Every structure is written in C-alpha cells, then in structure tokens.
Structure 1
C-alpha cells in the first residue's frame, strides 16, 4: 500500500507539473488542486484510524510557522527557515505529514509574497523535502546531527534545481531553446543562491535542530499525535 501511495504521489506531481506548462495562466487553480490532493493523500494515511482535530491543528500550525518564516528573510535571497521547519516536521511526524506541511506552507506564504507560476513548483519542492525526511526518519543518516545537516545541504541544492527546471522552460520560449549549454548556464547562475539556501539550512539545523527535535518529539509522544 505504501508503494502504491508513493507511485500515486509522483504520478500526480508529474501530471500537475505538465499541466503547469500546458496551461500557465491557470497556475493558481493548479496550486489549489495540488493542495487538495495533498490533504487527501494525508487522509489516506489515516484510513484505519480516526483523524483527530488536534492533529490537523498541529499540521496547520507547523505549516503556518514554515510560511511565516519566509517573510522576515524575504529580502535575503534563498535564506529562510522554511526548509528547516518542513524537514524537521516531516522527520518527526512522517512522510505524508511532511508533504502537506511543505506544500501548504508554499501556497500560504505566497499569498503574502506573491503568487505566480512558480508557486506550484515551490509546493512540490518543499512538499518533497518533508516527504523525503519522513521516508528517511528511521535511517542512520537522519538519526544523527551530521546526517541531518547533510540532508539539509542536499535539499538546499535540490530545491534550487527543481525551481531551475521551471525557470529554464518558462523563460526559454516554452523550452524550445533548452540545450546543454543553456542548462549549465542556468544552473551555474543559481549556484550562489542554492549555496546560500544550503548554508542557511545548516545554520538553523546547528542552532535550533536539537531543540526542535526534542519539542516535536515530546508533543508526538505525550499527546499521541500522528502516530
């Protein structure tokens, strides 16, 4: 069942992203569709147990924290605690919870910072941050501070590369001018911003990582949330 859900998720993501190229003016509707399916995807996880209101409230709070965290750092390109919050939330509460926190955080924060065709891609990128953190929560890599730092560095660059794919196709005449040279040029141009994103992830993980882990784990165990 878990494999089926993973396959369904990636097919959904691919389908929505393809639609974003075919219908670029409908980005907001596509974003809401992805958010809706994210919620359905989360609820599938709880098909054998009752979903409690306090669990939904917790997810909403974490998504809000991740979204609001972007605003004070909006003037500093790629530096924000959003990826850190999504990563830690997915790590503690699971893959599906991480995905919905990431996707909703992107949609909510862009209500303030500005919606556009990029919103859908940010939802996917941040959703995958939380989802992959949840999938790897029992691995040796994620159970050490240095492992989580490496994970944060990797996603600092992966997030930028996912957004590069959108930018490359969106600003090169519908993708007609995409070739190896333009690809390398585009990715090289974003290297500084991707590095800043990765370094900001490292900073937040080193300074706040252990405290966040203790707090979220305590909430999960004490109140039996999202077990």
Structure 2
C-alpha cells in the first residue's frame, strides 16, 4: 500500500507543478485577437463555467468570468485595431494578462475577508508562473492558430 501511495504522491506533485502553466489566458487571447471582441464575453463565460464544472466552482467563478471577459474584449479590440501586431508584443500582453487575471480573481477574497493584499501577494508566484506560461504558449501556438483561425473566420464570417 505504501508503494502505491508513493506513485500517487509523485503523480500529484507532477500535476501540481504543471497546472500552474495554464492554457486558458493565452488561448483566449489568441482566439479573440483573430476572431474579434464579440466572442469575448461568451467564450469567457463558457470557459469559466466549463472548467469549473470539472475543477470545482465557487465565488471565484464570477471573478474568473470577469477577468477572462476583460482579457477577451481587450484582445479582440487589439486584433481589430492592430491586426499586424508582432508576436512578441502579443506575448508581452499575455504576460501582463497573467498578472491581471491573478489580480481580478484575487478580488474574490474581499467577499470573505479584508486580507486582500496578503492573499494577493501570496499568489504572486503563481501569477508569475502563469505569465511565463502565457508567453511560452503564445510563442508556440501563434503560428498554428493564426492560420487556423484566419481560415475559419474567412470561411464562416467574411
């Protein structure tokens, strides 16, 4: 039995390490950069509700929807206003959105207690992991998603 628990704990620590790198913000940013801001709120709300069905939900779900909606709308407008934006600038926005997401979602603690700053500052290392992951995923996914999403948009919406 002890042998089995060693594997369970090993797998859990592996998953905990990599769950800090989250595809939600970079995929939302890229999809809405190419598809436009109209999809922002629907995709943000749908993403938050769907992921929270599997991962568990609470008061933070409302703040996730707000954060993802804001990120989605800003990304959509960036794509409309600056359609030829360089990938490195999009990646920088991805890093900033990683920290912004953490800030907005941390506001949920105000529903329960007044210790916002302690809670937020304790979460900054995770926000840093999210920011780094956002940059890495944007740099990796951008070339593929750009062609795929622009073709989809041309076939279905233009």
For the criterion TM > 0.5, the same-fold answer is yes
Equivalent residue number for residue 66 of structure 2: 124
Matched, 1:161 2:103: yes
Shift of 1:218: 1.2
| Shift in alpha-carbon separation, 1:88–1:155, aligned structure 2, 3 A | same
| CA deviation vs aligned residue, 1:1-60 (integer Å, no higher than 9, x gap) | xxxxxxxxxxxxxxxxxxxxxxxxxxxxxxxxxxxxxxxxxxxxxxxxxxxxxxxxxxxx
Shift of 1:184: 3.6
Equivalent residue number for residue 33 of structure 2: 91
Query: Which one has a larger percent helix, Structure 1 or Structure 2?
Result: 2
SS of residue matched to 1:133: helix
Runs (4+) of structure 1 exceeding 6 A deviation are none
Equivalent residue number for residue 192 of structure 1: 125
8 Å CA contact retained: 1:87, 1:130: yes
Equivalent residue number for residue 152 of structure 1: 94
Shift of 1:77: 4.5
TM-score, normalising length: structure 1: 0.58
| Shift in alpha-carbon separation, 1:187–1:108, aligned structure 2, 3 A | same
1 or 2 for the larger relative contact order (CA 8 Å, sep ≥6)?
A: 2
Q: Extract unaligned runs of 5+ from structure 1.
A: 1-72, 173-177
Shift of 1:144: 0.8
Give the whole-Å Cα distance in 1 for the aligned partners of 2:15 and 2:52: 11
SS of residue matched to 2:90: helix
Shift of 1:99: 2.2
Equivalent residue number for residue 3 of structure 2: none
| CA deviation vs aligned residue, 1:63-120 (integer Å, no higher than 9, x gap) | xxxxxxxxxx973453211111111111111112022111111101111111211111
TM-score, normalising length: structure 2: 0.82
Shift of 1:131: 1.0
Cα root mean square deviation, aligned: 2.1
